[in-house]
Structure 1
Amino acid sequence: MGNVIELDIHTLGKGFGAEARGVDLANADEATLGALVDAFEHHGALLLRGQKLQPADLMRYLSRFGTPEEHTLKEYTLPDYPNIYILSNREVNGRKGSHYDGVGWHTDYSYKEEPVKCTMLYAVEVPTGGGDTLLADLCAAYDALPAEKQQQLDKLQLHHSYKYFMETREFGRMKLSPELEAENPDVFHPLIRTHPADGRKALWVSTGTVRGIVGMDKAEADALIDELIEFATQEQFVYRHKWEVGDVLVWDNRCTLHTGTKYDDANSYRVAYRLWAKGDKPF
């Protein structure tokens, strides 16, 4: 029988998310990594502060959550580490990372048939102000809906489109190449998603990739999506993370929305590494 690891867990806020204290990821054994993943499965997000990690350390930790996922835009990945995506406004060796990626409420890779399970961010350099990450607890939002509204939404399917997202987004707008368009066909996912760990329900609405709702005209669909986003991102459901160098934050894309906030990119720098673990088909 293996060792039972008891983590020092503290709630991040409003009953959502957890911080595990006293863990040195670079030197953590497999039992400790497994305990961290177990905590993540039931808290929606997991934070560790004060870490000093090399890319290989990040890959080892991520791999405990699942198979590392590749990134659609390969030009922003770390040399020799195609699964590590650079978010940065600092130029290094003649290249920058992706700058304002992640601004606007969304869940990562929702335009894929099997969206990513989790997103991991590691703070290498943080700006003097701004650049926060906000996480919305979609399970708490679902639970707060009236039963009649839950039943109404349970039948609905969202139309997600990478092409639509990239051609209409505020930052980094671009027309897809035929290759990228072929690699990222439109997909359809349930508006109410069931978490595979324990069956809890999430109001799995999003912006950006959502083109509409199946069987509903665009004006009606857009109005409902806006209503649900406004509901799910109320302050009572949201945790705001203010970054410190060495933070490692992992959130569960199956039950959260997230957005970044802008910062003074003319006078301060931000460098973070983003990693994804593969997920499964929403149900």
Structure 2
Amino acid sequence: MAPQLKLRELKPGFGAEILDVDLTTADNETLDAVVDTFNQRGAILLRGQEMEPDDLMSFISRFGQPEGHTQKQFTLPGYPEIFILSNREVDGKPIGAHNDGVGWHTDYSYKEEPVKCTMLYAKEVPPEGSDTLLADQCAAYNALSEERKAELDGLKLHHSYQHLMSTREFGRMELSEEMKAANPDVIHPLIRTHPANGRKALWVSTGTVKEIVGMPNPEGLELVDELVDFVTRDEFVHRHKWQVGDILMWDNRCTLHTGTVYDDTKYYRLMHRLWVKGDKPY
């Protein structure tokens, strides 16, 4: 019989903080219940964790096969699936990506099979700023009128890694031919069905989206912006304020997220990010 976890909603109808579970000592039944909670709730939070890299890899593997990273230079030595987010430098060189993930998006949306989930583990956090915001795209879809749902159903988005890297606010980059070949443009549905629970999500994003297929710009991108504005209204958004030892995981199949900036002249931040391989959106 599966154990009953002690839960607290992150916001009404979305996400769960899982209380009184130590991920390094929990038994298999408890960890299975953690995974099930994630699949049903869209996001989970566990505070006060003390995780070594091997612990992170063991835990993330319960959700599926860990996914690698497009950018390799900031992965943890010996752990290519653990990516470092930080503004710290060693010998004058950055140890991690800084201001990565600022702007509403879903991770790896420019891939044929975007990542299933994202996990962040907080090792060092500023006392202010650097919050992570999660938007519940299922709640946003459910809030649409039936007429609006019908208008949007069947629309497809053109996602492009090359477009993202050439237009992003922080650290624009011209891709090598090898990187372009490894990350070709993809087409994904605007309305996505969750494979684990059948719920529909208004699966819009920014950064990677180049156009709505069959709709001329700027009309298409204006519609994308309108939908992002809708999905990210306060009623659909949870703001996470970080503490050291937090593990926050969100389901990229039904959420939108963004990082926020902080005063990097006063504070340091250090996070470990892990991903799980996903499936083709439908």
Same fold (TM over 0.5): yes
* 1:16-165 equivalences in 2 (<5 Å): 16-92=14-90, 94-165=93-164
The residue identity in structure 2 corresponding to 1:101 is D
Counterpart in 1 of 2:214?
215
2-structure distance, mates of 1:72, 1:266? 28
Match status 1:171 vs 2:170: yes
Per-residue displacement from partner, 1:76-113 (whole Å, max 9, x unpaired)?
10000000000000124654200000000000000000
Report the TM-score, using the length of structure 1 for normalisation: 0.98
Per-residue displacement from partner, 1:52-81 (whole Å, max 9, x unpaired)?
000010111100111000000000100000
The residue identity in structure 1 corresponding to 2:280 is K
2:66 is paired with a residue of what secondary structure?
Answer: coil
The residue identity in structure 1 corresponding to 2:109 is S
Contact 1:84 1:275 in 2 (8 A): yes
The residue identity in structure 1 corresponding to 2:29 is A
Q: CA deviation at 1:202?
A: 0.1
The residue identity in structure 1 corresponding to 2:5 is L
2:9 is paired with a residue of what secondary structure?
Answer: strand
Contact 1:85 1:275 in 2 (8 A): yes
2-structure distance, mates of 1:29, 1:100? 36
1:257 is paired with a residue of what secondary structure?
Answer: strand
2-structure distance, mates of 1:43, 1:92? 39
1-structure distance, mates of 2:269, 2:240? 15
1-structure distance, mates of 2:90, 2:253? 34
The residue identity in structure 2 corresponding to 1:54 is E
Counterpart in 1 of 2:229?
230
1-structure distance, mates of 2:94, 2:231? 37
Q: Which runs of 5+ in 1 are unaligned?
A: none
Q: CA deviation at 1:223?
A: 1.0
1:176 is paired with a residue of what secondary structure?
Answer: coil
Per-residue displacement from partner, 1:219-269 (whole Å, max 9, x unpaired)?
110110011001000000000000000000000000000000100001100
Report the TM-score, using the length of structure 2 for normalisation: 0.98
Contact 2:87 2:94 in 1 (8 A): no
1-structure distance, mates of 2:41, 2:26? 21
Q: CA deviation at 1:51?
A: 0.3
1:13 is paired with a residue of what secondary structure?
Answer: coil
2-structure distance, mates of 1:172, 1:199? 37
1:64 is paired with a residue of what secondary structure?
Answer: helix
Tell me which of 7, 11, 15 is aligned to 2:5: 7
Q: CA deviation at 1:14?
A: 2.4
Counterpart in 2 of 1:275?
274
Q: CA deviation at 1:34?
A: 0.9
Contact 1:5 1:32 in 2 (8 A): yes
Percent of residue pairs bearing the same amino acid type? 65
The residue identity in structure 2 corresponding to 1:90 is R
1:215 is paired with a residue of what secondary structure?
Answer: coil
**Which runs of 4 or more aligned residues in structure 1 lie more than 6 Å from their structure 2 counterparts after TM superposition?**
none
Contact 2:204 2:228 in 1 (8 A): yes
2-structure distance, mates of 1:112, 1:131? 27
The residue identity in structure 1 corresponding to 2:52 is Q
The two structures, once aligned, show a CA RMSD in angstroms of 0.8
Q: Which runs of 5+ in 2 are unaligned?
A: none
